[in-house]
Chain A
Amino acid sequence: MTLAETRQLGIEFERRIQTMIPETEFMNKLDTETIYSFINQYQDKLIQELYRTIDQVQSSNN
């Protein structure tokens, strides 16, 4: 993923947060570190789930 794509990812994340919580558009705007902290956390969680899913599929096939 390029730097531009990474920024777009952060923008899309923030755009949806702002839609759900309008106060985050100005008054409670999230800073960049916080945004990518959430994204990193979810990325770790996603990879762990994928890993577990693959493991389950392999064990069921056996």
Chain B
Amino acid sequence: MTHKDIYTKFMIEYDKANVTSSYPSLTEYEVATVLDKAYNALIAQKVTGNNVRRSTVESDVKSISDLQPLLAHAHPVFQDFDASGDEVAVNVATCNLPSKFLYFVQMYLIQKVKSSDSTGLSVNEDAVYTGPNTDFEHKYPNFEMPQESVTAGHTYVPPAATANQNPIDARKYRRIPVRLVPHQVAEKFFATSYNMPWVKIPVCYIEDNKVNVVYDLLNPPYVSVGAAAHMVFVKKPNTFVKDFTSAPFLGNNHQGCTNFECSNGLSQEVRNAYNFECNDTVAEELISLAVTFALENVESQRLNTKLNTRGLEA
């Protein structure tokens, strides 16, 4: 469904609303503004669970399906915050939020396994073992040494993952889940003069458009400058009022544009900006909510529309 379709359906419902007085006609810009407001409110309802079904993001099939097109991922890189002049916390690493970030869903640290230059993680040991076979067998008596390693000499190097090997062989990276917590909770994980906490699951908090990950100081997940995380988030949707700042690919010709469809000669990226990302069910919910918002601005107080629609607001 395109923005033009949304506009058409909105105008149909707005015109046919069961009212006792006529409503002022809306310009395209006003309709776009109302639709943007309703879209943001609808996403907030689905993410936070402030809806009729009381279901938050990814809590049931419908919520997954509704927001699936808006779920995005990014690999923010941890920064050298020494150079930026910020105060360095002992066990805190910082990375920027993605540019289209709207709501946090999940984050993983990508942990590079020790000494994983070309061989990676083995079943029984993180580091690559290059000592004599006898020592290795003594340390891990139950490990079945591959025949080719035995015949190759005294050096054991975990082989590449093949059908004959355990699937976690030769993996260079692991993912560690990170839990988003409030500042008051995060401070319980800081290394201080009276606290050297065990951080089984790293936690993170958000401030100043940055994610701060607090990890175990004595068993660090090798979070270093240049290391990446994997972040899943709800991205900002395509706006109905086209904004050059948030969508520079639209070009100056589209700045402040409120036309609900674009001409055919434009690039696919520009044409995508005029598509409604979510499914038709969400589109219908959006139109209903937008009509409610549009009506409550001009409706008579005796109909109490504000009171009735309060539950719809995020």
Residues of chain A having any CB pair with chain B under 8 Å: 7, 10-11, 14-15, 25-27, 29, 31-33
Q: Chain B residue with minimal CB distance to A24?
A: B188
Q: Please judge, given known A-B contacts A7-B218, A31-B188, whether A26 and B181 are in contact too, CB under 8 Å.
A: yes
Q: Check B22 for interface membership: any CB of A closer than 8 A.
A: no
Q: Note all chain B residues with C-beta closer than 8 A to A15.
A: 200
Within the complex, what minimum Cβ distance (angstroms) separates B220 from chain A?
14
Q: Note all chain B residues with C-beta closer than 8 A to A11.
A: 198
Of B118-126, B189-197, B254-262, the stretch lying at the interface with chain A is: B189-197
> A15–B200 Cα gap in the complex (Å)?
9
Q: Please judge, given known A-B contacts A7-B218, A26-B203, whether A32 and B185 are in contact too, CB under 8 Å.
A: no
Q: Check B179 for interface membership: any CB of A closer than 8 A.
A: yes
Within the complex, what minimum Cβ distance (angstroms) separates B198 from chain A?
5
Within the complex, what minimum Cβ distance (angstroms) separates A21 from chain B?
14
Q: Please judge, given known A-B contacts A7-B218, A26-B203, whether A32 and B181 are in contact too, CB under 8 Å.
A: no
14 sampled A-B residue pairs with Cβ under 8 A: A7-B198, A15-B200, A25-B201, A26-B179, A26-B181, A26-B203, A29-B185, A29-B188, A29-B197, A31-B194, A31-B197, A32-B194, A33-B194, A33-B195
Q: Which residue of B189, B194, B196 contacts A29 across the interface (Cβ within 8 Å)? A: B189
Residues of chain B having any CB pair with chain A under 8 Å: 179, 181, 185, 188-189, 194-198, 200-201, 203, 218
> A27–B189 Cα gap in the complex (Å)?
11
Within the complex, what minimum Cβ distance (angstroms) separates B178 from chain A?
12
> A15–B194 Cα gap in the complex (Å)?
19
Q: Which residue of A7, A10, A27 contacts B185 across the interface (Cβ within 8 Å)? A: A27
**Cβ B203 vs Cβ A32 within 8 A:** no
Q: Chain B residue with minimal CB distance to A18?
A: B200
> A32–B189 Cα gap in the complex (Å)?
10
- Interchain residue pairs A-B with the least CB separation, the first 7: A31-B195, A29-B188, A33-B194, A11-B198, A32-B195, A32-B196, A26-B185
> A10–B188 Cα gap in the complex (Å)?
16
Q: Chain B residue with minimal CB distance to A7?
A: B218
> A8–B249 Cα gap in the complex (Å)?
55
Q: Note all chain A residues with C-beta closer than 8 A to B194.
A: 31-33
> A10–B200 Cα gap in the complex (Å)?
13
Q: Note all chain A residues with C-beta closer than 8 A to B198.
A: 7, 10-11, 14
> A22–B189 Cα gap in the complex (Å)?
16
Residue of B181, B185, B198 most packed against chain A (CB within 10 A): B198
> A10–B198 Cα gap in the complex (Å)?
8
Within the complex, what minimum Cβ distance (angstroms) separates A38 from chain B?
14
> A55–B196 Cα gap in the complex (Å)?
39
> A25–B188 Cα gap in the complex (Å)?
10
Q: Note all chain A residues with C-beta closer than 8 A to B196.
A: 7, 32
Q: Chain A residue with minimal CB distance to B216?
A: A11
> A31–B199 Cα gap in the complex (Å)?
11
> A11–B199 Cα gap in the complex (Å)?
9
Q: Note all chain B residues with C-beta closer than 8 A to A32.
A: 194-197
> A53–B192 Cα gap in the complex (Å)?
40
Q: Note all chain B residues with C-beta closer than 8 A to A31.
A: 188, 194-195, 197
Given A7-B196, A25-B200, A29-B185: 7 more A-B contacts, CB < 8 Å: A10-B198, A26-B179, A26-B185, A26-B188, A26-B203, A29-B189, A32-B195
